[in-house]
Amino acid sequence: MAEVSIFISLALIATTILTVWLFFKTSHYKNILYGIGIWMVIVAFLGITGFYQKSGTLPPRFVLLIAPTILFVLFLFTQKKGKNFIDQLHLKWLTLLHVVRIPVEFILYAVFLEGLIPDLMTFDGYNYDIISGITSPIMYYLVFVKKKLGRKGLLVWNFICLALLINILTIAALSAKSPFQQLAFDQPNVGVTYFPFVWLPAVIVPIVLFSHLASIRQLTRNKQLLSQQL
């Protein structure tokens, strides 16, 4: 088991719970909690048993942390029931949810200091995802409280933050110990293969990704959406 302080581990657990709770607030659909809860237990068990830590396999075990949920997210956008579910989500909560990216970035920096991920994956390197977290409550305030920004402003923000997310996902994947590793050979990305940090790529990242895609779908399909949800 990696040597990570109990405080950092508890912070990640708390951030994961906050992320799931904020996502639940987007619809109040209880089956969301049941489904995510089951997935969290499965991933936690595999993380504790060291399943994801084995390198040199094909496909890389790291991919199995994030691929199932990413594929499920994309699957929802192809199904009528999935699209109906997406279209009834509350945009203000989908926007505010991204505030969880602030604690995530500080946790990643702490894990880097423990020697378990590369500097590239932190705000001290090439990870600018903390910008999304900082601007999330600002966008919420300007769009839904003060009504100073409209649909186009929120749409642009979602695209920018989605790009920042893809950036760190690419760095994380290329830094992971696998046959496809291209970065950070001196200090590779191994921290996210340990519990509870397995929940970052397996739970938090897919929810953040889904929230952006759902927001973009709503904002591009319904120009009157903001006035309806305010």
pLDDT digits (tens, 9 = 90+) for 9-55: 999 999 999 999 999 999 888 888 999 999 999 999 999 999 998 87
CA distance 143 to 92: 9
Q: Is the pLDDT of residue 168 over 50?
A: yes
pLDDT digits (tens, 9 = 90+) for 49-98: 999 988 777 788 888 999 999 999 999 999 999 999 999 999 999 999 99
CA distance 118 to 32: 33
3-state DSSP assignment of residue 198: coil
CA distance 198 to 140: 29
pTM of the full structure: 0.93
C-alpha angle 52-1-205 in degrees, rounded to nearest 5? 45
Exposed / middle / buried, residue 229 (Cβ in 10 Å: 0-12, 13-18, 19+)? middle
Check: CB of residue 187 under 8 Å from CB of residue 117.
yes
Check: CB of residue 158 under 8 Å from CB of residue 197.
no
What region, left, alpha or beta, does residue 28 occupy, with left being phi > 0 and alpha being psi -120 to 50 degrees? left
Check: CB of residue 155 under 8 Å from CB of residue 194.
no
Exposed / middle / buried, residue 185 (Cβ in 10 Å: 0-12, 13-18, 19+)? exposed
- Tell me the CA end-to-end span of the chain in Å, nearest whole number: 48
| Residue entry with tokens 């904020």 | 22
- CB atoms closer than 10 angstroms to residue 74: 13
pLDDT digits (tens, 9 = 90+) for 173-216: 999 888 778 887 888 999 999 999 999 999 999 999 999 999 99
